[in-house]
Chains A and B, each alone.
Chain A
Amino acid sequence: MSTSTCSQVIPLDLLQSSECGRVVEMVASEEWLHRLQELGLREGVTVRMVKTGEPCILAVQGHRFTFRCDPSTMILVEPVPSAA
C-alpha cells in the first residue's frame, strides 16, 4: 500500500482540473462496472481530471473519456501529486 502523505480518499468528481488520482474503489451496478473496467477505468489506475463538470473529461492511460455518473455509481480516488 502506498503511504502517501495525503492519503484521504475522495469521490472522483471532487478532483480539480489537472489533478490526478488513483482509483481505490468502484461501486456501481454489475453491468456498468464491467463496462467501465473494459474501458480501462478500474481499481489501481491513475486518472487525470482534464475538465471538471457534469459530464467531466478524464484522461485514463492515454485516452480521453467523457464520463457522468448516475446516483448509484461511486468512484473513489486517492489524490496523487501530478507529474506536471
Chain B
Amino acid sequence: MANSVETSSSETNLTVAFIGNPNTGKSTLFNAISGGQARVGNFPGVTVEKKVGKCTFENRSVTLIDLPGTYSLSPRSADEMVSVDVLLGRQSDVATPQAVVCIVDSSNLERNLYLFSQVRDLNLPTVLVLNMWDLAQTRGVEIDPKALQERLGVPVITTSAHRKIGIDEVGKAVVAAIESEVKPPPKLFPAEFYEEIEKLSNWIVERGGEPVHFYLLERMLLDVRGASEESVGKQLTPDLKEYLGEARLRLASSGCRIPAVETKLRYNWIREQLDGVLTRTTSDQTASVSDKLDKILTHRFLGILFFAFLMFLVFQAIYSWSGPFMDMIENFQGFITGLVEGWMQPGMLRSLIVDGAIAGVGSVIIFLPQIIALFAFIAILEDCGYMARAAFLMDKLMTRVGLSGKSFLPLMSSFACAIPGVMATRVIENRRDRMVTMLVAPLMSCSARLPVYLLMIYTFIPASLFFGWLNLQGVVLFAMYSLGAVVAIPIAWILKKTFFKGETPPFVMELPPYKWPSPRIVFDRVYDRAKAFVLRAGSLIFSVTVLVWALSYFPSDHTELFEIETNIESITATSPAIELELETLAERHNQLSGQLIRASYLGQMGQAIEPVVKPLGWDWRIGIGALASFPAREVIIATMGTIFSLGGDVDEENPGLKSALMAAKWPDGSPLITIPVALSIMVFFALCAQCGATLMVIRRETNSWRWPIFTFTYMTILAYVAAFLTYQIGTLLAG
C-alpha cells in the first residue's frame, strides 16, 4: 500500500492544489493569489474545468491548480474522481501537488471541515485557510486559529479574500507546511476498518494489481458504487466489486455500517476539534438579511412575478442597449468594404474578400454587443445568488413534468449556450432526470439564435409602442425566447412518461446568501464567452461562408459583371446624362448578378430543394441558408450575407444585410420576406437542432449515438411543422 504521494524532485518548482466547498470564496482567493492570470481548460476526457495559475511563494515559482468546488472528496463519478486523481498525482497532465490548500468558510466551520478531514487522509502537506474571516466576525462566530492549529496539526491562517486581507500569509504557510514534517492523519475509524484496508491492499497486490494509495482503498470501502473502484484497472474491477461487498458485510457485523459510519465519525471528530475553539455569540436561529429578501423573492406569487419581470427586463435591455454598438460595427464593416473596393479591381479575389469574408463574418460579428449583454446578465444573476432561488421557484413547475428544480440551472444556462447547459446536467444525480434535461436543453433559445431573431425583428417587425413603453419588437423577441421553453414542457413530459419513466426524485440544493456580484467574475465569464463567439465566427463560420461563396460563384462566367463594375466605378463626374447611364448600368448589374447566382452550383442546389421549403414561405436562398446552418445556426446570417451580396441585392449606399433583405424579391417582383415569412424563419431557428457541437456533447455525455440522433430528428421535425403552421396561419391572418 502506498501511503505517500511521489512528488517531483524539483525543489524550486512547486505545485499547489486549492480545494474547498462551493461558496467559500475559493475562486476569489485563487484569483487574488494568481493575479487573475489563470489558464482555463478542461481535464482530458471529462468536462471538469481545469484552472491553472502561476505565482511565487517565498521566491519559489508555484503552479496553482483550482479544483472544482465540492462538499466531499467521495468520488461517485468520473468527474468527481478528477479532483482525487489530481491530488494523488494520478492525473497525467498536471504535476503532483506538493501541498493542498483547503479553503473553508469561517462562519460555517462545522460543515466545511468535513472536506478538510477527507483531505487530511491524503497525507499531503495541508494548509487550512479560514476564509471570509471578516464575515464570520460580523456573524458572531469566534474562532481561536492558534488553538485550532494546535489541534489539527496543520498551519491554519485567516483570510478575507474579497478584501485582499491575509493573501500573502497563504504562500508563507504553504512553504512552511512543505518544509516541515507532515503529521500522520488522525485515525478516525475503528481498528477493524484499518485491518480491512490492509487486507484489501494485499488482495489487490496478490492479483497483480499496482499498489494503491491508502486514500483510494479507503474510498473503495466507503463509497458503494463509487468511482475509485475503477482505479485498479479493468480486469480486476468485477472481482473487486464482489470482494468489497463481502468486506462491507464483515465491517457491518463488527458494528461499522457503511456508508453511515463515515459521516458519523468525521462529524464527531469535527465536534471534538472545535469544542472550546469555536463559539457563537449570536444564534444562527434568527432570520438573516437573505432570509428577509427571500420572503419576497421566493414567495409563491411575488417571487414568480419578480422572476418573469426580471427575464422580460433582460430581453428589453439586450434589445435597446446594444443598438448604438451595432451601428458602430456596421459602419466599420462598411468602411472596410469601401477600403478593399478602393484598393482592388473588380475580380474573383475581391469578390471573395468582400462578398465572402466581410459580408459573411461581418454580419455575425455585428451581434457581439447583444451576446455580451446576455452573458453579463446571466453571470450577474448567478454570482449574486439569485439563480438558486430561481431553481427553487421552478421546482414546483418542474415537478409537474416529473423533473426537479435541479434541472432548472442547466436549462437556464442553455439560454446562453446549450453546450455548457448539457454539461451542467451533471449536477443532477438522477439519471433519468439528467437524460430528459439534456434532451430538451437544446430547445432553449441559445445566444446563437439571437442574431437570427434580431436580424428578422429589426428588419421586418414594426417598432410600434404599446402603453408608451412596450416595444412590439421586444415583445416578439421575448416570444421567440419563450417558444423553446414552452415547447420543452410537453416534450419533457412525454419523455418522462415513455423512455425515462420514474418517480420524481428528491431535491436538495444550497441557497447561498445574497451578495453583490463580483465585477471580476462577471467580466471573466463574459470575456470567455465573447472570445469563443468571435473565434467561432473567425473559424467555423468563416469556412462555411467561403464554401458557400465558392458554391455560389462557380461555375458561372463573371467577366461581363466585372466589366460593368469597373465601368460604374470609373464614372466620377455627375451630370443628368451620366446619372441615367449609371442607373441602367446598375440595373443591368443587379439583373446579371441574379442570373449568375441562380446558375451557380448553389443556385442549382437551392432550386432543387425549393419545393421542400416553399410551404414555409421561403425561396431557395433562405432554404440554402437554413441548410448551410445545420453545423452552426449563426451561419444563416453569414450565408445570407454572402448570397444576397453576390446576388446583387445589396444596396451600394448601405451594404448591410438588412437593406438587402428588405430589397429581396421573388422572381415575380413581390417582396420575398413578409412578416409571416420572417416569423416562420424565426420559429424554424428557435426549434431546430442546428448545432453540431451540442449534438457532439450529447453524444459524449450519453456515450451513445442514439440520443444525439434522437434529438436531431425530433427537433428538426418539430421546427419544420411549427414553421409551416406559422407561415400558413400568418398568411391567412394577414390576407
| Residues of A participating in the B interface, judged by any CB pair closer than 8 Å | 18, 20, 28, 30-42, 46, 48, 50-51, 53-55, 57, 59, 61-71, 73, 82-84
Contact = CB atoms under 8 A, between A and B. Distances in A.
Contacts of B290: 64
B284 A59 contact: yes
Contacts of A30: 224, 259-260
Contact of A34 (B108, B259, B295, B388): B259
A68 B507 contact: yes
B509 A65 contact: yes
B293 to A, nearest CB: 11
Instruction: Specify the main secondary structure of chain B where it touches its partner.
Output: mixed
A62 B506 contact: no
Given A36-B508, A67-B508, A84-B285, A61 B392 contact: no
Contacts of B224: 30-31
A51 B302 CA distance: 14
Instruction: Specify the main secondary structure of chain A where it touches its partner.
Output: mixed
A51 B300 CA distance: 11
A50 B506 contact: no
A64 B285 contact: no
Interface residues of B, number: 47
A70 B429 CA distance: 14
Contacts of A18: 287
A14 to B, nearest CB: 17
Given A39-B71, A40-B111, A73-B506, A66 B396 contact: no
Nearest to B391: A66
B508 A39 contact: yes
Contacts of A55: 392, 395-396, 405, 507
Contact of B507 (A31, A34, A67, A83): A67
Given A38-B263, A42-B263, A57 B294 contact: yes
B275 interface: no
A55 to B, nearest CB: 5
23 contacts: A30-B259, A30-B260, A31-B429, A32-B506, A33-B260, A35-B508, A39-B71, A39-B508, A41-B508, A50-B294, A55-B396, A57-B392, A61-B111, A61-B284, A64-B513, A66-B405, A66-B511, A67-B508, A68-B404, A68-B508, A70-B504, A83-B286, A84-B283
Contact of B510 (A63, A71, A82): A63
Given A18-B287, A34-B259, A38-B74, 10 more contacts: A34-B74, A39-B510, A40-B111, A50-B291, A57-B392, A64-B291, A66-B395, A70-B503, A70-B504, A84-B285
Nearest to B404: A68
A37 B645 CA distance: 63
